[in-house]
Amino acid sequence: MKKIITISLLLVSSFVHANDWNIKTNPVSLLVGATNAEVNYAFHKNFTFGLGGLIWSTTILDVEFTASEYHARVDYWFNAAFEQGWYAGLQVSKLGMELTTVVSSVDYTGDISSTGYLAQFGYHWQWDSFNMDFGTYFGYYDFDSDITLKDVNGNTKDETVPAFGAVGAEFFIGWAF
């Protein structure tokens, strides 16, 4: 009977940890007018599943655009989920953009979408419930189709948008519970 209790406790303890949920946001994105947030759930001692997204409207190089990105993410935590230490993850994203640009003094508008595949690696700091992630990511976005730009008169202009690589840093602050 003692063996059964010991084995049961070991099995249960491998699935138990301090926090099951983490809600986080990227404070740097807020500085540039974007909203970037994510919710993660620890479904195993070392694995989490997250859903998140970003919404951003801005102008870059005379192109006004609104971007929305939604993603699903699975992370492996080398110590345990939401405990201080290293993590690695994989993410699949859906990116949509609506844009307006000027070509030869004519305003054109259009929209396009892309599927992204990213890998992340970083470090997580945990203080009671408050936490912070800093890491890097790399991957690529593959656009699903060409973009058709339309002017106010209904004239169209087709543009091919190539797939592009994505490399960068991620920084989040969050609250685990």
CA distance 62 to 135: 31
Q: What was the pLDDT predicted at 162?
A: 83
Q: What is the mean pLDDT of the segment spanning 88-100?
A: 93
Apex 151 CA angle, 146 and 157, nearest 5? 30
Pairwise pLDDT comparison (106 vs 167), residue with the higher score: 167
Q: What was the pLDDT predicted at 156?
A: 84
**Domains of the chain, each with CATH number or no CATH:** 19-176 (2.40.160.20)
CA nearest to 97, candidates 129, 153, 39, 144: 144
List, for residues 156-171, the tens digit of each pLDDT value.
888 888 888 999 999 9
List, for residues 112-152, the tens digit of each pLDDT value.
899 999 999 999 999 999 999 999 999 999 987 778 888 88
- Identify the band that residue 17 occupies on the pLDDT scale cut at 50, 70 and 90: low
Are 161 and 112 in contact, with CB atoms under 8 Å apart?
yes
The secondary structure of 69-123, three-state, reads EEEEEEEEECCCCCCCEEEEEEEEEEEEEEEEEEECCEEEEEEEEEEEEEEEEEE
Pairwise pLDDT comparison (164 vs 73), residue with the higher score: 73
What DSSP designation does 26 have? Answer: -
- Identify the band that residue 12 occupies on the pLDDT scale cut at 50, 70 and 90: very low
Mean pLDDT lowest for which of 36-45, 84-93, 109-118? 109-118
Q: Is pLDDT at 105 greater than 90 in this prediction?
A: no
β-partners of residue 12 are none
What DSSP designation does 33 have? Answer: T
Q: What was the pLDDT predicted at 19?
A: 87
In one letter, which amino acid is 7? I
Apex 135 CA angle, 134 and 136, nearest 5? 150
In one letter, which amino acid is 90? L
Q: What was the pLDDT predicted at 6?
A: 52
Looking up tokens 């690695």, which residue turns up?
88
- Identify the band that residue 37 occupies on the pLDDT scale cut at 50, 70 and 90: very high
